[in-house]
Amino acid sequence: MMKKMKINLRRYIKTAVFTMALTMATVGCEFQELDINTDPNTASEVSLDLLLTSAQFNGLNTFAGGLNNSQMGFQAINTSSDDFNFTNSSWNGTWNYLYSVPLKDLEEMIRAADPELSPNYLGVAQVLKAYYFTTMVDLWGDVPYTEAFAGNYSEPILEPVYDGGANIYADAFALIDAGIANLGKDQATSLDGDIIYGGSTSKWIKAANSLKLRLLIQTKNVQDNAAAIQAIVDGDNYIQTAADDFQLRFSALKNPDNRHPMYIDGYAGGEAGYSYFGSQLMFEMLSKRDPRTPFYFKRQTSSLLNPDDTTDKQTIPCSQRDDCIYAYFPYSPVVTQGVFGKAPEDLTDDEREYLGGFFGRDRSDPSGIPNDNPLRTTVGAYPAAGLFDVSASTTGGNQFGTGDGIFPIITSWMVKFYLLEAQITLGVSTGSTEADLLEAALEEQFEKVIAVGTAADPAASADIDTWPETYDWPITYKNEEDYIGDVIAAYPTGGTSAQRLNYVLKQAWYANFGNGYEGYNAFRRTGFPSDIQAPLQLPRNFALSLPYAQDELNLNSNTPDKVYDSPSSGAIFWDTLKFQF
């Protein structure tokens, strides 16, 4: 059995004492090192593999949770934070946790991993640090970086400076290059504890190059990245197939609960607690006969609410407003015409009941929240490993689905969307036509949806052509080939670069379901897709970033003064658009 690389646990615990200093919550406090006798029952060393597992799961699980939901809400995928109304307390706990647990673990790994004895551990930690901190920049802008973990220095820094986002990005590129070099070295020990790639250094190198591509796309409006992107394309060592996807696979374990965060919201409670899905997304997928629909969404009811009943009327979406586009699907002319080509009164009972199960909300609907959890469309089989939408049934109570879904971080189809943007806007040569790249991206995403969905729910069939005979739906979804064929046939080949990119990023809007980061970043970078429903209310303008944590404002005098929805202070360094409604 191979010997595992160790680091000194006393040093790790000692630095952890300063965790709150790292999150700027210890100003005015003094710590004294305690003389504690050695406990013979406690290990004095911790393995690098344990640190790696902790850094991976705790970091990516956090990014897959509330932060992810809110960014999907920013793009009308769901209604989480879709009114952009935050306070400095909104992300206080998330900020503190990221700095005190996963980011701290990565810093300890980088300090402890001997570049000669454990270069592969060091390389993974460097790549993850680049991903984590550039994600922090994408969310908050300037953040503590160079002094973030100085709470245990001989001269502790309890109020770390905020490094500029552009400087952090520049260091991230250097970290990626160093990580790739370390991953290419021989290591005498196995790379244990890697829950992403199972210790495969070749896959980590592909992920690192793909991350570099992602960051180059992100910053293409503030610097000339065409040659650097072309070099990655020509190097041909990036994520190109599903086997190399950078994703977190969750567990079905309930105690501790390591299931997908979306699954936990949709299934783990007595009632489904997931926020509403956006009505525009559900309507468009239904009207296009998109076969991903029963994988993405799970209906909970086929019962219809009566608008003439006082109690029901309070529950019906948009019943108190006249500015909604989609409202309550069974009685919405926009929806019934778009999906079935009929007026609401002409629907069959089956059609009406089917639409009644797609219970969401228009974007930023300010209506009160009734007790409608058992009615809302909830999480499906993809990506959270809930249930396939065989029929309408309530989901709360832990007894349905498995929860061992995925958080897709950088996948083969996402990379193809990056390459499409580079080819359309920068003239990068990928060796493929735009239509061919888009077709490949959609095929790969469809395959992932079907693979994850059918593994999660045995009732889900991968053979779409058999669905009409298998499932009792009043709608016939297109099969994968026909659906993608129609998308490619409508591609605006002769259009302007803006028209083509808008079309591509609308397809990415559908495909990146389950990853809010991609859509939020793309929209701030390009303003596309441009046809997302306008909010019904705007207590705040579009969130150009997230507000800083309240603890930061209270305890770190270096915290920048910004208004997160203001173009003058809230935009990330690469955001030249600074979108406002």
What is the token pair recorded at 291? 């076969």
In the 8-state DSSP scheme, what is residue 379?
Answer: E
- 186 is a domain residue: yes
Q: Among residues 264, 575, 219, which one has the least CA distance to residue 425?
A: 219
Residue 20 has what pLDDT? 37
Alpha-carbon distances, residue 215 vs 174, 234, 261 (angstroms)? 12, 17, 26
Q: Output the average pLDDT for the chain.
A: 92
pLDDT tops 60 at residue 11: no
- 518 is a domain residue: no
Tens of pLDDT along 153-192? Answer: 889 999 999 999 999 999 999 999 999 999 999 999 999 9
Neighbours of 308 (CB within 10 A): 6
Residues 252, 232, single domain; the answer is: no
Tens of pLDDT along 492-525? Answer: 999 999 999 999 999 999 999 999 999 999 999 9
pLDDT tops 70 at residue 51: yes
Q: Which domain holds residue 334?
A: 244-512
Residues 199, 260, single domain; the answer is: no
Residues 209, 224, single domain; the answer is: yes
CATH code at position 188: 1.25.40.390
- 435 is a domain residue: yes
pLDDT > 70 in the chain, percent: 92
Residue 396 has what pLDDT? 80
Whether 64 contacts 264, CB under 8 Å: no
Residue 146 has what pLDDT? 97
Residue 257 has what pLDDT? 94
- 575 is a domain residue: no
Residue 46 has what pLDDT? 67
Residues 254, 376, single domain; the answer is: yes
Whether 293 contacts 467, CB under 8 Å: no
- 441 is a domain residue: yes
40 pLDDT tier (thresholds 50, 70, 90): very low
Residue 10 has what pLDDT? 37
What is the token pair recorded at 133? 């901190």
Residues 207, 317, single domain; the answer is: no
Greater model confidence, 417 or 311: 417
Residue 24 has what pLDDT? 38
In the 8-state DSSP scheme, what is residue 566?
Answer: -
- Lowest mean pLDDT segment, chosen from 32-41, 227-236, 400-409, 537-546: 32-41
What is the token pair recorded at 402? 């498995």
Q: Among residues 407, 299, 290, which one has the least CA distance to residue 354?
A: 299
Using the 3D structure, point to which of 473, 489, 512 is the last residue of a domain. 512
pLDDT tops 60 at residue 26: no
Greater model confidence, 144 or 26: 144
Residues 445, 495, single domain; the answer is: yes
Strands, E assignment, 135-205: 143-144, 162-163
pLDDT tops 60 at residue 9: no
Residues 260, 185, single domain; the answer is: no
Report the SS3 class of residue 246.
Answer: strand
pLDDT tops 60 at residue 50: yes
d(CA 559, CA 319): 44
Whether 95 contacts 141, CB under 8 Å: no
Residues 77, 158, single domain; the answer is: yes
Neighbours of 475 (CB within 10 A): 18
Q: Among residues 304, 270, 363, which one has the least CA distance to residue 78?
A: 363
Report the SS3 class of residue 353.
Answer: helix
Residue 319 has what pLDDT? 86
What's the distance, Cα to Cα, between the start and end of the chain in Å?
Answer: 60
Average pLDDT rounded to a whole number, residues 7-33: 39
Whether 147 contacts 197, CB under 8 Å: no
Residues 308, 342, single domain; the answer is: yes
Residues 55, 186, single domain; the answer is: yes
- 577 is a domain residue: no
Whether 323 contacts 536, CB under 8 Å: yes
Using the 3D structure, point to which of 186, 206, 238 is the last residue of a domain. 238
Q: What is the dihedral of CA 482, 487, 491, 497, to 10 degrees?
A: -150
Using the 3D structure, point to which of 483, 512, 541 is the last residue of a domain. 512
pLDDT tops 70 at residue 97: yes
Residues 257, 183, single domain; the answer is: no
Tens of pLDDT along 423-471? Answer: 999 999 999 999 999 999 999 999 999 999 999 999 999 999 999 999 9
Domain count within the chain: 2
Q: What are the beta bridge partners of residue 45?
A: 8
92 pLDDT tier (thresholds 50, 70, 90): very high
pLDDT > 90 in the chain, percent: 89
- 1 is a domain residue: no
Residue 351 has what pLDDT? 98
Residues 223, 347, single domain; the answer is: no
pLDDT tops 50 at residue 6: no
- 565 is a domain residue: no
Tens of pLDDT along 142-161? Answer: 999 999 999 888 899 999 99
Q: What are the beta bridge partners of residue 78?
A: 277
Report the SS3 class of residue 226.
Answer: helix
